[in-house]
Structure 1
Amino acid sequence: MPSLFLTGKPRIGKSTIIRKLVKYLQATYPETISTHGFYTSEVSDGPNKFRIGFDIITIDGQKGVLSRKKDYWTGSPFDNNAPRVGGYIVNLKEFERLAIPSITVHHNNEEEKFEKKKLDVIIIDEVGKMECFSNEFNEIVRNLVLKNNNVNNKSNDDIYVIGTVAMKHDGLAEEIRNKAGFGKISKGIKEDNKNLVILEVTYENRDYMVDNIVFELEKILDKGNF
């Protein structure tokens, strides 16, 4: 099953597109698409909307702290060895507690085997520097996107991954960009790499990007080969 990722400059609107997409899919395709995963959201403070960190929000409505600036850290004291990105302290335990189950599809209930088959869509927003501090997250995403292995009793052929990937970070983000043929020379869709495509979000195309993604999903639904 193909995977589709969005990339683009910081604050270009990738997560906004993901949120709009999830809302549309849940409202329009409740009988044919089952949506899982998570997205991230900026957290701001003060009248000038000073960014103090990021939250993680799962598709089923759970919410937690992904990162905060030191002066805005809440809850239990942070570990001085906690990973950091710039001035942000990453709450790795909270991220893994919410993200890992949300991107792991289980179909162990006997009744589910006889239900009308749905297309599983896993939302991963995003594959970036903060998220990739988690080795478990990296392994799951590699299996979903870069390999053909089975993940938790469900074949990758039954899962469509939609995510966002950092434009410049290395590690897993770079692996995904390279796999899709997205780089300095060739940006956008690589025609000979149909299992993994990357679309760059720009100010010019972001308003109709949800429509583009829905169009790709509808082609799969029409074929019914999932």
Structure 2
Amino acid sequence: MDFIQKKSGREEGGQDSMSSLCPELGGLCPESGTDASLLSEPMPGKRECRVGQYVVDVASFEQLALPILRNVGSCGGLGPRVCVIDEIGKMELFSQPFIQAVRQTLSSPATVVLGTIPAPKGKPLALVEEIRGRPDVKVFSVTKENRTRLLPDVVACVQSCGK
């Protein structure tokens, strides 16, 4: 299984969450590149999940992401499946069911996972470090300088994992 690691948490004009996988399900905030459908004002009386200035709508995130991850193994077709997860970061880790679904997807022998994780900085994120340390994970460090040259290596790695 392969994971691509971004050098910084966000590429220029980058996206967060599952918006790149399902763009029809939510728009991007143009000023931040953050998926607008997954950020909201806190509900009165509910615990507020924050990353910086953003409040994460965990319930909406789970409604979007969990069915996709849980159904990866049931997709038709021959051969291995490729599951794209962009990204596993602070916002996503507020959801314990998401963490469990990611672990289950990574452990599925019929699924190749291509995803993004943040570069190590500050306090380590437990699931991110767990993924980074898996023996079946290949980490590519993506920079502005190498991002256009990495594509053939990533494609070759995904293809070889599917055999």
The normalised TM-score by structure 1 is 0.57
Verify: 1:172 aligned to 2:127, yes or no: yes
Identity %: 28
Q: Deviation at 1:102?
A: 1.2
Q: Which has the larger radius of gyration?
A: 1
| Structure 2 counterpart of 1:200 | 141
Bigger fraction of residues in strand? 1
Describe the superposition over 1:148-189 as per-residue Cα deviations: whole angstroms up to 9, x where unpaired. Answer: 4xxxxxxx1110001001223412112222x14xxxxxxxxx
Distance 1:200 1:14 in 2: 18
Q: Which amino acid aligns with 2:61?
A: F
TM-score (norm 2): 0.76
The CA distance in 2 between the partners of 1:91 and 1:208, in whole Å, is 36
Structure 1 stretches of 4+ moved >6 Å:
none
Q: 1:88 to 1:209 in 2, by over 3 A?
A: same
Equivalent residue runs for 1:1-226 within 5 Å: 2-12=1-11, 43-44=29-30, 50-51=31-32, 54-55=34-35, 65-67=37-39, 78-79=43-44, 81-104=47-70, 105-107=72-74, 112=76, 117-145=78-106, 148=107, 156-168=108-120, 169-177=124-132, 179-180=133-134, 193=135, 195-220=136-161, 225=163
Greater relative contact order (Cα < 8 A, sep 6+)? 2
Distance apart, 1:106 and its partner CA: 4.4
Q: 1:118 to 1:157 in 2, by over 3 A?
A: same
Residue correspondences, number: 153
Equivalent-residue separation in structure 1 for 2:64 and 2:113 (angstroms): 18
Structure 2 unpaired stretches of 5+: none
RMSD of the alignment, in Å? Answer: 3.1
